[in-house]
Chain A
Amino acid sequence: MTDQTTLERELVERARKGDDPAFEGLVRMYQEPLYRYLCRLSGDGEDAMELTQNSFVKAYLSIRRFRGDSSFKTYLFAIASNTWKNTVRDRGKRRNVDIEQFPIASGNNPHDEVVRHQEQKRFWSLVDKLPARQKEALTLRVREGYPFEEVAKVMGCTTGSAKASYHHAVSKLKEAFEGDEI
């Protein structure tokens, strides 16, 4: 068992007994990964900040019912995921993400940089248009590095369904490079 897992268990155990500093320790442990995850899902930094806070509040209120069947991180991400989906649904429609707000890595050659910029813009625009479940599966598998079994736990579905969502997403994103030479 890693040090982080041991520390997480200790903090969860104390937080379940109402120890606020212990819960605050869990917040500090997972605030950055959770923010990044929600940023990728929502496509907006400010929304991600709000969703991060709301997700932690929900986790605090329900921690006594967390039985440790999964890691606390998986539990937290499942809450965050549903918080995001509820927000999307409450808004009635998905907001249009400003792709420009995501800084894009640059190269040295100006011409290459322009081409690369266009390509990345096209790519992130496709990511933004993915259905919620596909985007979620892709984010968890690729960016969070979760195996499909964990992806399924966070998404509340079967492993097969998580795999299918992921592969559908990847197939759609391949369109960003259609016509390009490899």
Chain B
Amino acid sequence: MSVCRDRCRQLLPEYVRGLLGQEEMKQIAHHLEHCLECVQEVRVLRQFENEVLPEPPKWFWTSLAGKVTAEARQRRRARVLIPVWAGGLAAAALALLLFLQPGTAPQLQNRTPDYSLLETGGTFALGLDEELIPSVSGDFVEALEQTFVRDLETVSQDYTASMDLFPDSDGYVSMDEVTMKVFEDLVEEMTLEEVRKKVMS
């Protein structure tokens, strides 16, 4: 039985598809002669070989690529622009959240984001996309991304953290989602000054 678990059983999908070398194919075939459990498993796996899926219409394949880029560009344009103070608040609140939970993003502890960059005038888009924020300097966007994104992606790789904080996420939690989430959670409870004071202290 331990042999099944450790070796043969793990290779059954490849065995069924004939993807193993001659020697391994022989070994598994030999094993199947006296292991009922694996024989049943092979029978299950063989069912998938018979599967025939519904074919989409031809136009779907030929038009999909163009549709995807067109829709993505449209969605990007539709992202909501918010005033710079809200962007500042979101970023500051995000920093606060991460500083107050050092276990979540320990690599942030020894760095101090340059909050003077948040004083830039104009508008700030949560999407952090240069196309959408012509009035905000590229330095601002770059600094903000460099300061936070790597840490946020580390956080997002922790399945539990991402699922707890962002149950609706697509698994790759983005800066947009994090800032928006923090913004939504904290904006009604704290003023920008209160957030700044806490962060800076």
Interface of A toward B, CB cutoff 8 Å: 20, 23-25, 27-28, 31-32, 35-36, 39-40, 45, 48-49, 52-53, 56-58, 60-62, 65-67, 75, 78-79, 81-83, 86, 101-105, 120, 123, 141-143, 145, 148, 156-157, 170, 173-174, 176-177, 182
Contact = CB atoms under 8 A, between A and B. Distances in A.
7 contacts: A48-B56, A62-B172, A83-B170, A104-B52, A170-B44, A176-B47, A182-B43
Given A31-B65, A182-B39, A60 B72 contact: yes
Contact of B72 (A57, A141, A170): A57
Of B48, B60, B67, B68, most A-chain CB atoms within 10 Å: B68
| Minimum-distance CB pairs A-B, first 8 | A45-B54, A24-B65, A60-B72, A27-B65, A56-B68, A105-B50, A82-B170, A82-B171
B64 A78 contact: no
Interface stretch (B12-20, B93-101, B132-140, B187-195): B12-20
A61 B76 contact: yes
Interface in B82-107: none
A163 to B, nearest CB: 8
Interface string B47-63: 11011111110001100
B27 to A, nearest CB: 19
A64 to B, nearest CB: 9
| Majority-rule SS of B interface residues | helix
Nearest to A103: B52
Given A39-B53, A57-B75, A49 B69 contact: no
A174 B168 contact: no
| Majority-rule SS of A interface residues | helix
Contact of B60 (A49, A101, A143): A49
A145 B19 contact: yes
Contact of A35 (B43, B56, B153, B169): B56
A12 to B, nearest CB: 14
Contacts of A156: 159, 162-163, 171
B43 A177 contact: yes
Contacts of A101: 54
A88 to B, nearest CB: 13
A142 B60 CA distance: 26
B68 A61 contact: no
A177 B172 contact: no
